[in-house]
Structure 1
Amino acid sequence: MKKPAIEGGTPARNKPLPPNYPGAVVMGQEEAEFASKVILAQSPFRYYSPDPQSAVDKLENAISAKMNIPYALGVTSGTASLIVAMKALGIGYGDKVIVPANTFLATPGAVVCCNAVPVFCDIDESLNLDPAALEQVYDEDVKAIIVVPILGNPVDMDPVLAFARSKNIAVIEDMAQSCGVTYKGQYGGTIGNIGAFSFQMNKIITGGEGGAVVTRDLDLFERAIRYHDQGIVRHRDRYGIDSPDEEFAFVGQNYRMSDITGAVLFEQFNKLDEIVASMRRSHAIIKQALSVQFPELQFRNCPDPDDGQIGSNLGFLFPSAEAANKFNQAMHAENIGTHALYAGKPAYRTAAIFNQRTADKDNFPFNYPFKNPVIYTEDLCPRAIDLLPRAAFLPIAPTLTEQDVEEIIEGATKVLHSLREQARVL
């Protein structure tokens, strides 16, 4: 067996892997032409302009058709999509929202920006929310659950939905990292009450920024439209909405997507199947090769292992944080950039959340006098504390070549053999 590069051997690769920007690395002429068309028409605003190109409309129609969901709304960011989704559900001051311990800061941050308070649910070996842990964090002030399929891995939705129905609370799907994920044949984002997507730079498809909200409920959709556009509804005929502003309008914000962003995202969305198919193919080859050579190697669980995950990241679970760190260091020496997610820490350990600090007076909304106060402690979610430092992720770009895949397998094989010899176990 060849020596790992970290021990003086030759690296498996002579340059780093493609950057972890799945949508951006396949950007090309199509996005440039449609965005240019909008600009040359001098019509960047979606709702009125000299020569409307209707790019956001086209994006929303494409999302609806592909994901088999009647209502889709383009917004400015993934965070905006979460806020709009929660405001559509009427979530606000005095409410709690369950979020998984493993997610980006934006998920609990959006809850706080809606004047509600996040409560954190532990995770399982999928590294997503553990449905069996929901009862432990539920109380009468909880109004919704946000599930987050982390890095392309679906959430086990059936027990989440069953729990939510039993408590009469909503389910929001934060699909920021996982556009294209499915669960039992249904697209993630379309399974709960309302779905939120992000199209930021390192997402599966990207406009640099951007987001979308999807739902099957017209009443929720009308509230989403209103909140994202100062409380009003334009293009009423497009959605079949006839409720008068005089009776139904409320104060909203401005989260409108521009038609330039819509143009880029429309062409990106047309490439989603191609992106996902490429990532899945490389993911399957690498996982299979390593599984055969290292049957003791543990990967993160997938609730829908056949078709659900999109292959954007191969997740490993090591016996210890030390082993995971050694793996990452050795893989970097091979020019293969594996990494820990969020420094191996749960979301509630983020300083602003953990210390319950906001820009508002008295740290509103954390100052709400809940019957059961929300208190964050370092060991709040024991499984997350255990699992996250032991997890390592290999990003898989949609542009990987056969040679790239072979070199990844070669590098990982060298590193894993060395770890096996050092620790006698992976």
Structure 2
Amino acid sequence: MASSTAPESADERALRRRGLTLALLTITYFFSYMDRQILAILLELIKADLRLTDTQLGLLSGLAFAIFYATLGVPVARLADRSNRRNIIAVALALWSAMTALCGLAQNFAQLLLARIGVGVGEAGSSPPSHSIIADLYPPEKRAGAMAIYSTGVVLGGGFGTMIGGYVASLYGWRWAMVVVGVPGILLALFVWAFVVEPRRGLSDPARAADTSPMPSVGSAFAAMWANKPAFHLVMAVTITSMIGYALAGWGPSFLQRSLSYSVREVALIFAPLAAVAGTVGGLAGGAIANRAAARYGLHAQSWMVAVLKLVALPFMIGFYLTESQSLAMVFYVLNYLFASSYLGPTFALIQSLAPLRMRAMWAAVTLLVINLIGLGLGPTLIGILSDLLRPVTGPEESLRWALVAVGSATPWAIWHYWRAGVLLRRAPAD
């Protein structure tokens, strides 16, 4: 007898499996950040092995990776707004994972630079299509929470990259650490291809899904984003915040080893787990609070919430850089991560809520282009240059400390942009 139950529609299937899709996209982001940030715990070992300067290490950590990661994100996003986003993510994941493993074979600066560029090329295909999929699966009032879950990939990836990389490197050297972290991502790519759903565009925005206008050009996407004043301030805020965050993430392990006399293994087994836990709690709590704030007060409250939490985190970040005490450094490190990790989910959710439906991946790519060219590209690179310049004045043990203090002092600038974005959102709420 034929079943009277109607067959499941594609939309119903997408919504039923959105939890699994979000989980796999978060794990993919975890691997992206782990492969990106593993270099941080290995910098001192690579410096000694390949005889590099801090400026060269800064280029490897920042600009060399960021230029290709950021600029290729735009054409990838253009493709993602037209074609299957799941397949793009799966191919990108396999590519950057293989290139991470190849970093372990580098015999000089040039070879390591090329491998890191390959990692950047691969990772360009991850975040813009992921943001677009999540925005289609979750309505505006739940989007910040979903983005916050996705954004835990940053702190968990950075934490586990440091833990695994540092532990393996302490036993077998930095080259094996690269291989151990890179290879599993190739297998994960198969799971992403098999189980991530490709939702209908506009699935969670019925009022906007009827938009049948032609696909906008890249230039029009840029122009529309910069013309949207709340979006402009959000991009400025997250870019400055990311520059400071990437500086800490990229050079924090080296600072702990140089200025506070921690070993590679101690950084990997003590600080990395603490950062992962504090960052995850802060990110998830920030997303949950942002959802409630939006439901009660409007979307503008999310931007103000981030401004307040960044202000709370600021003295702990500066205290971490300035203290001479190992115990206080640990406390300041954890408290900074707890409050400072709240910004990604609400920021990306707000930008996706402001974006025209057919520009979502493009707006994500434009955001990531600016974040990564300036934040990731400039942050770690600037720290390396400043450290080398300050070395004759402060000595080799303290130059990195004062370089980090100088960059971290830009935090109030980011806070102002979050506040201003909230003001503008309150005056003219998103659709």
TM over 0.5: no
Structure with more strand by fraction:
1
Which protein has the bigger helix share? 2
TM-score in terms of structure 1 length:
0.30
Q: Relative contact order (alpha carbons < 8 A, sep ≥ 6): 1 or 2 greater?
A: 2
